[in-house]
Every structure is written in structure tokens, then in C-alpha cells.
A and B are shown apart, each in its own frame.
Chain A
């Protein structure tokens, strides 16, 4: 790190060694030095595995006996596979429900827990609890909560006179149940917004108050725009994460009932690790990659119009 510090510092101070380098060249060197640890990680540890999986998608292989190049066969098979489309629709449904709801809930909770209330630290910890209850415990918990007959949720609904749905046991309500679970684990996103709220200069609110702006007006015109970089982050991460939803359907429903919760990753997991069609599984994974990439690029394109960066580099 000391060499990095030296060069980065030397790159700016016109010492004898670097005097001839233009600022642009110096910025290039400094930039690459700063990101060099990640470049190493990305190129050696990550890209290699990704490229290998891309190559495998052009093979018919179980990694043991068969290893046969088949060209685009896996992809051609995929676009004619009704289960693939089923998983695509289910995953899209989950994503478009989960991402917006997750963002709205996390912001609402963060704003709530940024108020000056007594023992706010305790409240924040309680709201964060669901995010750290791990793996199996969560699934068992929700199977209990969502039980149509004696689950807490339907018992609660019964109190106010509503007959609750069958949740993960019905085709219509299984995905909404997953969305409910996702929203409930909003704790770590709530944290990000809480950190984002800390960065908003108080002067903005004071100026608005002098202008006679109400709380709602301030929220809409100061808080939200100033939070937009965090919202942008959660939107992108939400899209990437939601398209890869797996654990709930794997542990709780196994993709049922009647494939209503068959997600893309569950489908490719089955193809790979239960039926040993690693080539086909990789092809599905790369189709998923393409979809996520398209959505991410769309969000990035749109970001110029709604994300406000105080420290944006001038172009």
C-alpha cells in the first residue's frame, strides 16, 4: 500500500520524476492503482470461473462421462422448453413485486428510525433482527407463520374477519408469500438508507423551513433526491438479487405447487445438481445473466434523470 500511496501522491505533486507526465496520464496511473486489488480479484478469481461456465454452456456434459461440444443446442433447447418459460415468468413476477415494495418499505422504516425517539438504538436493533436470523431458521419460521390453519398471519387476519389465503400451498399466493418474506428482511437495506440520511446537510432543511415548507414537501424535495444515490444502489442490487431468488423455493416449496414457485435459479440448480445437465444449466444461467444485464443497463441509462450526485465528476 505504501508504494501505492507514493505513486498516487507523487502523481500529483510535480516531483522531478513525474514532472513530464500530463495530469491525464497521472490520473490514469492513480486510477488503476486504486482499483488494482479488485482488478486482480475480478480477472483471476471471478472472470475465469465465469468464462468457464460460458464455455460449458456449449457442451453436453455431466463432468464424469459425457463431455461433448454441442454448439448452440442447449440454447435452442431452452427456447423451446415450457418449464424454462414458467420459471422466467415466476422470477419476473417476484422481481417486479419485490424490488419496488422492498425499496418503499426500507425507506419508510429508515425515516421512522431516524426520528429523535427514546431508545432508538434498541428499536433499530429489533427491526434489524430478521436480517440476521439465518437460513434454515427463517424458512422453518415462515412455514409456521404462513401455515393456512394455525399460522400466525392467518390467525391475525381472522381476528379482523378476513379469511387468509393458503399462501405457499396455493398457486396464486405462493409468490406473494415470498415477496412478503423479502420485505420483512428489509433490515440491511434500511441500514443503508439510515446511513444515507446521515449525509444530508441540515442546512437544506433549515432553508426549506424558513421558506415555510411542510414536512411532506421536505421529504419529497430534499430527502428523496438526496437519498437517490442509495435508492439507485438498492434498485440495481434489488434487481440483481431478485432475479436470482433461490433459497425460499428450494427450502420451503421445492418449486411447487404445480411449479408456481419454480424460479430460474432453482430450475438451473435442478438441471445441474439433480439431473447432471451442466451444459443446459449454464445456458440458463447465461440467459439469466443477459436479462439482468439488460435491466441493469436500463436503470443506469435512466439514472441521469433521477439520481443526484453532489460529487459527480464534471464531464
Chain B
């Protein structure tokens, strides 16, 4: 299926061209159908976010509410200090993405390219750090940070990201480094490059798509991270958006939770607003993935 576009190269006989046209049409139908399935829940959120109070929980639901309640997007801003939450989240998220890109790419390079004593064992230990549920390491970890007097600061959220981040990021970049042939390293070494030079000049540019993915994943993770801030931050001025949203929900759903909650539209509205930055970053970053096989295939 990857090859469909390659057929552009030769002007095909009419029969082939008709076949090709059918193929393209099917392709578009398939993509649109998938997009519909994947977008449907978001449309539901959108619809809910514009539903007036009195229509919440009415069955069957109306996809287009009888009256669009735009106030759902306005009122919550005066209930909680959302602007401060956004400021905090932006600071943490950008710092952390920078930290991950710098440190994880260095560490992964070490694992992927250099032979050193105990490397495979250390790498296995690295993976092992992901195998214990956070629920049981939570308390010891909290005690550690509180002994370092770092509770109610952003240090517990930021520091690990500058220390290789997490096994996930290191493993991911290692996999991508390992797809690149070592011939390039050898050539660079003959030209007098050291390991750091090979890392920075040769391999880093090669794994740009992987770095892009890592940036997107970490941006969206940090932006939405609820658990970390919940544990380490307790002063409302320092809250993040995800934490603020949860607070907003809990604080306002005293009248019963679930779908029938009349505050659901406002919660959905604020959730959608909080998703916009992630979507924007994603949309901008995904352009790095367009210079692949298909386009070069067309250019020939």
C-alpha cells in the first residue's frame, strides 16, 4: 500500500489509470472513514461543551444542541485562576521538552553506539525501571523529594527530564539510532570526529523525525500530566492546567458525578480549550514527517 504513489512515475495505459483512480478513491474513503471514527468522540465533547444546562443528560442526545451555550467557555475562567494555571503549565512543559531532547538523545546515543562495560546489563536495568507499577514506588519517591525539601516546587517534575527523562524516551531514541548504518560513524571518525562530534553532527540530524515524535509525546504528556503535579504541588497558585481541571470538576460536581452532571458542559469546554496547544504543536510538528518515501517516489 505504501507503493501506490510510486505508480505516478510512468504514464500508465487507460485501464491501469482507471484502476489507479479507483485505488485513490478507495484510499480517500478509507482515510475519511477512519478520521470519522477517531473524531467522533471529540465531536461529542464539542457538542456537550455547547449544551445548555437544561439539556444535559437528555436521551437521546442532540448532536446539535437546541441552543448553543457559548457561556460554557467563558464562565469557568472567573471561577478558578486558569490564566495562572496556563502560565505554570507552559513553563513546566517547555522546560521539560527541552530537557528530554537534550539528555535522552545523549544517553540513547551511548546505549546505541558505544561498546562499554556492562552496557547490555545496564540497558536491561533501564527497562526494568518501567516494570514496577508507580503505585508502589510513589510513597518512597515522595519521601525522597520531601527530604530534599522539594515539595511544592517544580523540581520533582523537572529534574528527571534533564537526567535522561525516562526509560521510554531513551529506549525509543536508541531504536532509531540503531537503524542508522555505522558506515557514517566510521567516515566521520576518519575525518577526526570524536564520539561527541558523531553524536551532534552525524546522528542527531539523522534522527530528526524521532526527535520530533519525542517532542510531541513529551509535550502532550507534560501538558496533560495530572498525577505528578497532584502529588508534589499543593499550593493552588502553582497548579497546572490538568490539576486545575480536575479541581474544577471535583469542586463543581458536588451535585452528582457522571454524565448527568449539569456542569459537564463547562468541564468539557475547559478540557477542549486545554487541548488546543497540544493540537497546535502536533499540527506544526507533523510536517517533519512528510519527506518520506512517498514524496521522493513521486519526484523519482
Contact = CB atoms under 8 A, between A and B. Distances in A.
A202 B5 CA distance: 12
B111 A269 contact: no
A63 B60 contact: no
Given A30-B195, A63-B139, A121-B286, A132 B31 contact: no
Contacts of B126: 38, 42
A116 interface: yes
B275 A37 contact: no
Contacts of B45: 133, 137, 141
B18 to A, nearest CB: 17
B177 to A, nearest CB: 7
A97 interface: no
B75 interface: no
A12 interface: yes
A188 B217 contact: yes
Contacts of A310: 178-181
Given A32-B116, A195-B210, A232-B175, A8 B181 contact: no
A281 B136 contact: yes
Contacts of A79: none
A18 to B, nearest CB: 11
A175 B50 CA distance: 33
A143 B1 contact: no
Contacts of B192: 13
Nearest to B37: A184
Interface string B1-36: 111111000000000000000000001101100110
B293 A34 contact: no
Contacts of B113: 311, 313
Contact of A205 (B38, B106, B107, B297): B297
Interface in A271-309: 272-273, 278, 281-282, 285-286, 288-289, 292-293, 296, 300, 309
B66 interface: no
Contacts of A209: 3, 6
Contacts of B287: 121
Interface residues of B, number: 115
B233 interface: no
Contacts of A285: 132-133, 135-136
A199 interface: yes
B38 A112 contact: no
B68 interface: no
Interface stretch (A66-74, A80-88, A123-131, A162-170): A123-131
Contact of B110 (A31, A47, A137): A31
Given A125-B282, A134-B242, A229-B178, A35 B2 contact: no
A285 to B, nearest CB: 4
Contact of A311 (B180, B193, B213): B180
User: Interface residues of B: mostly helix, strand, loop or mixed?
Assistant: helix
B135 A281 contact: yes
Contact of A27 (B6, B114, B160, B216): B114
B26 to A, nearest CB: 11
A117 B45 CA distance: 28
Nearest to B246: A136
Nearest to B177: A311
A158 interface: no
A278 B136 CA distance: 8
A123 B293 contact: no
Contacts of A112: 1, 27, 30-31, 34
A37 to B, nearest CB: 4
A178 B237 CA distance: 36
A33 B59 CA distance: 62
A246 interface: yes
25 contacts: A27-B116, A35-B110, A45-B160, A45-B163, A49-B140, A50-B137, A114-B289, A115-B4, A115-B27, A117-B28, A117-B31, A129-B42, A130-B38, A133-B271, A144-B259, A152-B44, A187-B38, A191-B213, A195-B289, A202-B293, A205-B3, A218-B3, A229-B175, A246-B133, A300-B124
Interface of B: 1-6, 27-28, 30-31, 34-35, 37-42, 44-45, 59-61, 103, 106-107, 109-117, 119, 122, 124-133, 135-137, 139-141, 144, 159-160, 162-164, 168, 170-172, 175-182, 189, 192-197, 199, 209-210, 212-213, 216-217, 220, 224, 226, 242, 246, 249, 258-259, 264, 267-268, 271, 275, 278-279, 282-283, 286-298
Given A27-B115, A124-B286, 20 more contacts: A13-B194, A38-B107, A113-B31, A114-B292, A115-B4, A124-B289, A132-B282, A184-B38, A194-B286, A200-B292, A202-B293, A202-B297, A205-B3, A206-B6, A206-B297, A229-B176, A273-B135, A285-B132, A289-B128, A311-B179
